[in-house]
Structure 1
Amino acid sequence: MNSFEQGNMNGMPPYREPNAAPVAELKHSGPGIASFIIILVAIVGYIFSIAMITAAVIGIVDQPIEAITESLMEQAGAILGILLMMVAAILHLVALILGIIGLLIKNRKKLFAILGLSLSGGILILLIILFALGSL
């Protein structure tokens, strides 16, 4: 058993060379953190926009189809919901791009970049499935 292994068994810190430079701890990736925060904001935006659009549609669902389109465009809740969904979609794409950039930066922790990218990708897949099912 060498002195390094003995030091660890006795509860002592491992042996280090006296002139060795201290090991710097890696920082989190800035774009990765931004990606994670932005996708959380986009998720909240999607939830609020769906709630606003649903609330507008529930009030006019008993009308004929021609009247629904006309009535929907007159309601401010539906228009604001659609605009909020567009803003959330733009934020979503920004978070996706920042997540990719955060993964490509070297010598940084990639936890938030992976979280932001996986949330962005997962939600993007869910939205594609939702729109595909809605077009049937």
Structure 2
Amino acid sequence: MDYNPPPKPETDAARPADWESSGQTVSADPAYVYQENKRDLKHSGPGIASFVIALVTLAGYVITFIYVGAQASSILNENNKLIADSAEAIMYLGLSVLILAAVNVIGAVIGIIGLTLRNRRKVFAVIGTIINAVILLLFMLLIASVLVNAGAV
């Protein structure tokens, strides 16, 4: 913690002349003690890392789905049948979503670590943990819906 010494009391020579006429006095309290303020706490490093991971994975999901959406026109032919050449785009989508989900798990764990630190601000840890958890929940719902629909066929 940085130590901020108390301000030095002003001497009579350093005071402006108009202070004497206004009747203001400067009281120097030699027993001044620096008290820690709650606002002086630093942000938790793992919390910031969790928040950044959440933003990076969000951007990764957006970029992945835009790329695969652009490739979707070449995946389906006129009869809505999958073309054999579309395996590369489907593989890219599956692999990137799995990698991003693994990174989200790491981000959620780091966010929980950021929440457990004492004497640190927890704003970024809370936001990062929530975003990573929501993305993981959506990923699990996506997998569950795919498995339910695969069993219905």
Same fold (TM over 0.5): yes
Residue from 74, 93, 105 that aligns with 1:81: 93
Partners in 2 of 1:35 and 1:17 — Cα distance? 45
Structure 2: which amino acid aligns with 1:18?
A
Measure how far apart 1:78 and its partner are. 4.0
Structure 1: which amino acid aligns with 2:98?
M
1:112 aligns with 2:124: yes
Measure how far apart 1:17 and its partner are. 9.6
Measure how far apart 1:85 and its partner are. 2.3
Q: Structure 1 residues 21, 88: CA separation in 2 closer, same or farther (over 3 Å shift)?
A: same
| 8 Å contact from structure 1 (residues 49, 82) kept in 2 | no
Partners in 1 of 2:42 and 2:108 — Cα distance? 21
Name the TM-score, length of structure 1 as normaliser: 0.72
Per the alignment, residue 70 of structure 1 pairs with 84
The share of aligned pairs that are identical, in percent, is 31
**Mapping for residues 1-136 of structure 1, pairs under 5 Å:** 18-24=31-37, 25-62=40-77, 68=82, 70-73=84-87, 75=88, 77-135=89-147, 136=149
Partners in 1 of 2:143 and 2:68 — Cα distance? 15
Q: Structure 1 residues 70, 33: CA separation in 2 closer, same or farther (over 3 Å shift)?
A: same
Greater gyration radius: 2
Higher relative contact order, structure no. (Cα contacts within 8 Å, ≥ 6 residues apart) = 1
Name the TM-score, length of structure 2 as normaliser: 0.65
Per the alignment, residue 13 of structure 2 pairs with none
Per the alignment, in what secondary structure is the counterpart of residue 68 of structure 1?
coil
Aligned residues: 118
Partners in 2 of 1:83 and 1:49 — Cα distance? 10
Q: Structure 1 residues 114, 121: CA separation in 2 closer, same or farther (over 3 Å shift)?
A: same
Measure how far apart 1:63 and its partner are. 6.4
Structure 2: which amino acid aligns with 1:26?
L
- Segments of 5+ residues of structure 1 without an aligned counterpart are 1-15
Measure how far apart 1:126 and its partner are. 1.5
| 8 Å contact from structure 1 (residues 35, 112) kept in 2 | yes
Measure how far apart 1:80 and its partner are. 3.5
